[in-house]
Amino acid sequence: MNAYSAIVTKRDTRAFAPRPVPDEVLRRILQAGRMAGSSKNTQPCRFVVLRSPERRAALAACGDFAKHMPDAPLCIAVVLTPGGGAFDAGRAAQNMMVAAWAEGVTSCPTSMHHPACARETLSLPADHHVAIVLAMGYPAATGNDRPGRARLPLDGYVHWEQWDGRRE
Protein backbone atom coordinates (compact mmCIF):
# COMPACT_ATOMS: atom_id res chain seq x y z
CA MET A 1 0.00 0.00 0.00
CA ASN A 2 1.41 3.43 -0.75
CA ALA A 3 2.16 5.72 2.18
CA TYR A 4 -0.59 8.25 1.55
CA SER A 5 -3.29 5.59 1.20
CA ALA A 6 -2.17 3.81 4.35
CA ILE A 7 -2.18 7.08 6.30
CA VAL A 8 -5.55 8.44 5.20
CA THR A 9 -7.48 5.16 5.26
CA LYS A 10 -6.30 4.04 8.71
CA ARG A 11 -9.15 4.03 11.24
CA ASP A 12 -8.99 3.21 14.94
CA THR A 13 -11.11 0.05 15.23
CA ARG A 14 -11.43 -2.51 17.97
CA ALA A 15 -13.03 -5.67 16.62
CA PHE A 16 -10.38 -8.24 15.80
CA ALA A 17 -10.22 -11.65 14.16
CA PRO A 18 -8.38 -14.26 16.27
CA ARG A 19 -5.84 -14.93 13.48
CA PRO A 20 -2.39 -14.16 14.89
CA VAL A 21 -0.12 -11.46 13.50
CA PRO A 22 2.90 -13.21 11.92
CA ASP A 23 6.31 -12.61 13.44
CA GLU A 24 7.63 -10.95 10.30
CA VAL A 25 4.75 -8.45 10.28
CA LEU A 26 5.29 -7.79 13.99
CA ARG A 27 8.96 -7.13 13.30
CA ARG A 28 8.11 -4.46 10.72
CA ILE A 29 5.60 -2.85 13.09
CA LEU A 30 8.22 -2.64 15.85
CA GLN A 31 10.83 -1.38 13.43
CA ALA A 32 8.42 1.39 12.40
CA GLY A 33 8.11 2.41 16.04
CA ARG A 34 11.85 2.31 16.54
CA MET A 35 12.48 4.59 13.56
CA ALA A 36 10.17 7.38 14.76
CA GLY A 37 12.13 10.51 15.50
CA SER A 38 12.17 11.93 19.01
CA SER A 39 12.97 15.16 20.76
CA LYS A 40 16.77 15.64 20.63
CA ASN A 41 16.95 11.96 19.60
CA THR A 42 16.40 10.97 23.23
CA GLN A 43 14.60 7.79 22.05
CA PRO A 44 12.35 7.74 25.13
CA CYS A 45 9.97 4.94 24.01
CA ARG A 46 10.12 1.24 24.72
CA PHE A 47 7.66 -1.37 23.51
CA VAL A 48 6.32 -4.26 25.57
CA VAL A 49 4.76 -6.87 23.29
CA LEU A 50 1.93 -8.92 24.79
CA ARG A 51 0.62 -11.97 22.97
CA SER A 52 -0.22 -14.23 25.92
CA PRO A 53 -3.99 -14.18 26.58
CA GLU A 54 -3.41 -14.04 30.32
CA ARG A 55 -1.05 -11.06 30.05
CA ARG A 56 -3.43 -9.16 27.78
CA ALA A 57 -6.33 -9.78 30.15
CA ALA A 58 -4.28 -8.63 33.13
CA LEU A 59 -3.27 -5.39 31.42
CA ALA A 60 -6.82 -4.77 30.16
CA ALA A 61 -7.92 -4.52 33.80
CA CYS A 62 -5.85 -1.30 34.09
CA GLY A 63 -7.96 0.61 31.55
CA ASP A 64 -11.58 1.71 31.85
CA PHE A 65 -12.32 1.12 28.15
CA ALA A 66 -10.09 -1.84 27.41
CA LYS A 67 -12.54 -4.71 27.01
CA HIS A 68 -11.31 -5.25 23.44
CA MET A 69 -7.73 -6.00 24.53
CA PRO A 70 -8.27 -9.68 25.38
CA ASP A 71 -9.69 -10.15 21.86
CA ALA A 72 -6.72 -8.46 20.18
CA PRO A 73 -4.14 -11.14 19.39
CA LEU A 74 -1.38 -8.57 19.76
CA CYS A 75 -1.02 -5.69 22.20
CA ILE A 76 1.95 -3.34 22.28
CA ALA A 77 2.41 -1.16 25.35
CA VAL A 78 4.31 2.04 24.54
CA VAL A 79 6.38 2.79 27.64
CA LEU A 80 8.01 6.15 28.32
CA THR A 81 11.35 6.25 30.07
CA PRO A 82 12.09 9.14 32.48
CA GLY A 83 11.78 12.55 30.83
CA GLY A 84 9.98 11.20 27.76
CA GLY A 85 6.91 13.09 26.54
CA ALA A 86 3.56 12.06 25.13
CA PHE A 87 4.27 13.80 21.82
CA ASP A 88 7.11 11.38 21.07
CA ALA A 89 4.94 8.45 22.18
CA GLY A 90 2.31 9.63 19.69
CA ARG A 91 4.87 9.70 16.89
CA ALA A 92 6.05 6.14 17.60
CA ALA A 93 2.50 4.84 18.06
CA GLN A 94 1.30 6.37 14.81
CA ASN A 95 4.26 4.91 12.92
CA MET A 96 3.41 1.45 14.26
CA MET A 97 -0.31 1.76 13.56
CA VAL A 98 0.18 3.00 9.98
CA ALA A 99 2.80 0.31 9.28
CA ALA A 100 0.37 -2.28 10.67
CA TRP A 101 -2.49 -0.99 8.55
CA ALA A 102 -0.32 -1.16 5.44
CA GLU A 103 -0.22 -4.92 6.14
CA GLY A 104 -3.97 -5.14 6.78
CA VAL A 105 -3.64 -5.09 10.58
CA THR A 106 -6.02 -2.70 12.33
CA SER A 107 -5.45 -1.14 15.73
CA CYS A 108 -6.86 0.97 18.52
CA PRO A 109 -4.93 3.07 21.04
CA THR A 110 -6.12 2.19 24.53
CA SER A 111 -5.56 4.37 27.58
CA MET A 112 -4.48 2.97 30.90
CA HIS A 113 -6.58 4.95 33.35
CA HIS A 114 -4.86 3.28 36.31
CA PRO A 115 -1.14 3.90 35.77
CA ALA A 116 0.06 2.08 38.88
CA CYS A 117 -1.86 -1.01 37.80
CA ALA A 118 -0.25 -0.91 34.35
CA ARG A 119 3.22 -0.33 35.79
CA GLU A 120 2.86 -3.24 38.20
CA THR A 121 1.36 -5.57 35.61
CA LEU A 122 4.28 -4.96 33.25
CA SER A 123 6.89 -4.94 36.07
CA LEU A 124 8.07 -1.50 34.93
CA PRO A 125 10.67 0.46 36.88
CA ALA A 126 9.01 3.05 39.14
CA ASP A 127 10.08 5.99 36.97
CA HIS A 128 8.65 4.51 33.72
CA HIS A 129 5.01 4.68 32.65
CA VAL A 130 2.70 3.37 29.97
CA ALA A 131 1.78 6.13 27.53
CA ILE A 132 -0.70 4.00 25.60
CA VAL A 133 -1.44 0.40 24.67
CA LEU A 134 -1.99 -0.41 21.01
CA ALA A 135 -4.47 -3.26 20.55
CA MET A 136 -3.85 -4.86 17.16
CA GLY A 137 -5.11 -7.62 14.92
CA TYR A 138 -6.66 -8.40 11.59
CA PRO A 139 -10.15 -6.89 11.42
CA ALA A 140 -13.14 -8.98 12.45
CA ALA A 141 -15.67 -9.58 9.69
CA THR A 142 -18.23 -7.57 11.65
CA GLY A 143 -18.19 -5.10 14.52
CA ASN A 144 -16.02 -2.39 12.96
CA ASP A 145 -18.86 -0.53 11.28
CA ARG A 146 -19.71 1.91 14.04
CA PRO A 147 -20.41 5.14 12.21
CA GLY A 148 -18.46 7.23 14.74
CA ARG A 149 -18.33 10.96 14.72
CA ALA A 150 -17.54 12.37 11.29
CA ARG A 151 -14.31 14.29 10.74
CA LEU A 152 -14.44 18.05 10.41
CA PRO A 153 -13.91 19.14 6.80
CA LEU A 154 -10.33 20.05 5.92
CA ASP A 155 -11.24 23.75 6.00
CA GLY A 156 -12.23 23.29 9.63
CA TYR A 157 -8.68 22.21 10.50
CA VAL A 158 -6.58 24.66 8.54
CA HIS A 159 -5.83 28.33 9.14
CA TRP A 160 -3.57 30.38 6.88
CA GLU A 161 -0.63 32.41 8.21
CA GLN A 162 -2.45 33.04 11.49
CA TRP A 163 -5.54 32.03 13.41
CA ASP A 164 -8.77 33.18 11.82
CA GLY A 165 -10.96 33.91 14.83
CA ARG A 166 -14.00 34.61 12.66
CA ARG A 167 -14.27 30.89 11.96
CA GLU A 168 -14.81 29.75 15.52
| Residue (of 91, 111, 103) closest to 33 by Cα position | 91
Alpha helix stretches (DSSP H) within 16-124? 23-34, 53-60, 86-101, 115-121
CB of 17 to its own copies, least distance (A): 20
Site for its own copies in 50-89 (CB under 8 A): 50-52, 55, 79, 85-89
Residue number with CB closer to its own copies (90 or 115): 90
Please state, in angstroms and rounded to a whole number, the distance separating the CA atoms of residues 18 and 2. 26
Total number of residues binding its own copies (CB under 8 A)? 74
CB of 165 to its own copies, least distance (A): 7
Determine the residue type at 30. Answer: L
Q: Which of 24, 145, 165, 166 binds its own copies (CB under 8 A)?
A: 165
Beta bridge partners of 139: 16
Which of these segments, 15-23, 66-74, 121-129, 135-143, binds its own copies (CB under 8 A)?
Answer: 121-129
